Amino acid sequence: MHDTTDKQANGIQANSMDAFESEGRVSAPDRPERVEGLAETGACGSTSAPRTANSPPFRLNPNGIEANLVDIAAKRIFAARVFWSAGVIERIDELGGEHPDWPYLMPGLVDAHVHIESSLLPPTEFARLAVRHGTVATVSDPHEIANVLGVEGVRWMLGNAAKTPFQILFGAPSCVPATGFETAGAVLGVAEIETLLATPGVGYLSEVMNFPGVLAGDADLLGKIAAAKRRGLPVDGHAPGLSGAAAAAYAAAGISSDHECSTLAEAEDKLRAGMMILIREGSAARNFAVR
């Protein structure tokens, strides 16, 4: 899971103006110009700024824009001119302190765990709405559509997602069906997981919700984990309330991360076991302030 975020941070991209120029909305002038509407499309890259009707417009220079740059790592804001080439930032010129009349430019957000199907939207429409709020990429588990359509459902998601510049890293669903007590439209065994993990656009084994099966040594489940590990891919975990020796055994089976910690003690326990912890803080769960 952290691989995606690392790529986002180390290969930060800016949006080329090519799309604007081809639509006749923006040209590349010889002098700075105030440009309306840049941020809405700009959020599709790794730099974004939430926009409102009252937001000041970006100032456009040839191949660059002027804005207040929010430097997350250094925890400071400064006026800057940002240049890019072929969609990648190549230079940032610092112009001085924060400018009160300029808009703000900051790295886009990466949602580290989401089920796009829960939005009842296809990836293209999900992306169109997500970028408006500064989210430029997601790590997405398509197990909901896989429970209905199997491998073909995941392939459909990949094909639809390819139609948008929004970055989506899909996983191979590890638990389809979610339990043996439900009636699902498909079953994904080790062979199907192998197929999906070899598919471009699939970069990890999705959340292993059947943690009792991992602890019991379920051969099929361990085979899926082994398939991901052979490829050097992360394995997302899902083990609410697991701690102590059980958490250590779950991690030792090859689980890379967990997003279900509801207490600080649980998170620290899993960190000690070698897992990465994703802290949920949003409308569905608020775990950041728990103790």
What is the CATH classification number for the domain harbouring 136?
A: 3.20.20.140
Higher per-residue confidence, 53 vs 232 = 232
In a domain, 275, yes or no: no
User: What's the structural domain count of the chain?
Assistant: 2
Q: Tell me, yes or no, whether 66 and 151 share the same domain.
A: no
Residue 38 pLDDT exceeds 60:
no
CA–CA distance from 22 to each of 17, 18, 28, 211 (Å)?
9, 6, 12, 51
In a domain, 64, yes or no: yes
Q: Tell me, yes or no, whether 190 and 119 share the same domain.
A: yes
Q: Tell me, yes or no, whether 26 and 36 share the same domain.
A: yes
Last residue of a domain, one of 86, 107, 128: 107
Residue 173's pLDDT is 97
Residue 56's pLDDT is 65
Give the distance from CA 254 to its chain's centroid: 22
Residue 44 pLDDT exceeds 50:
no
Q: Tell me, yes or no, whether 39 and 96 share the same domain.
A: yes
In a domain, 265, yes or no: no
CA separation for the pair 106, 163 (Å, rounded):
25
In terms of Cβ atoms closer than 10 Å to its own Cβ (0-12, 13-18, 19+), residue 235 is buried
Q: Tell me, yes or no, whether 129 and 218 share the same domain.
A: yes
CA separation for the pair 158, 285 (Å, rounded):
27
Rounded to the nearest 5°, which phi and psi values hold at 82? -110, 125
Structural domain for 180, as ranges: 109-238
The continuous run of DSSP H or E covering 120 comes out as none
Q: Tell me, yes or no, whether 145 and 209 share the same domain.
A: yes
Last residue of a domain, one of 80, 107, 134: 107
In a domain, 277, yes or no: no
Q: Tell me, yes or no, whether 97 and 164 share the same domain.
A: no
Last residue of a domain, one of 83, 107, 131: 107
Which pLDDT tens digit goes with each residue over 152-162? Answer: 999 999 999 99
Letter string b/e over residues 239-267, b meaning 16 or more CB atoms within 10 A of that residue's CB: beebbeebbbbbbebbbbbbbbbeeeebb
In a domain, 23, yes or no: yes
Residue 60's pLDDT is 67
Mean pLDDT of the chain: 81
Residue 37 pLDDT exceeds 50:
no
Residue 281's pLDDT is 83
Which pLDDT tens digit goes with each residue over 121-176? Answer: 999 999 999 998 889 999 999 999 999 999 999 999 999 999 999 999 999 999 99
The continuous run of DSSP H or E covering 34 comes out as strand 33-35
In a domain, 176, yes or no: yes
Q: DSSP letter for 106, please.
A: E
Higher per-residue confidence, 197 vs 60 = 197
pLDDT-derived band at 32 (thresholds 50, 70, 90) equals: very low
Residue 6 pLDDT exceeds 80:
no
pLDDT-derived band at 188 (thresholds 50, 70, 90) equals: very high
- Nearest CA-CA partner of 144 in 165, 128, 123: 123
Amino acid identity, position 33: E
Average pLDDT over residues 175-185: 87
> How much of the chain exceeds pLDDT 90, in percent?
63
pLDDT-derived band at 84 (thresholds 50, 70, 90) equals: confident
In a domain, 31, yes or no: yes
Taking the whole predicted model, whether its pTM rises above 0.75 is answered as: no
Q: Tell me, yes or no, whether 83 and 117 share the same domain.
A: no
In a domain, 263, yes or no: no
Q: Tell me, yes or no, whether 119 and 77 share the same domain.
A: no
Strand runs (DSSP E) across 75-212, as ranges? 76-85, 88-96, 104-107, 109-114, 135-140, 167-172, 202-208
Residue 229 pLDDT exceeds 90:
yes
Q: Tell me, yes or no, whether 156 and 57 share the same domain.
A: no
Q: Tell me, yes or no, whether 177 and 84 share the same domain.
A: no
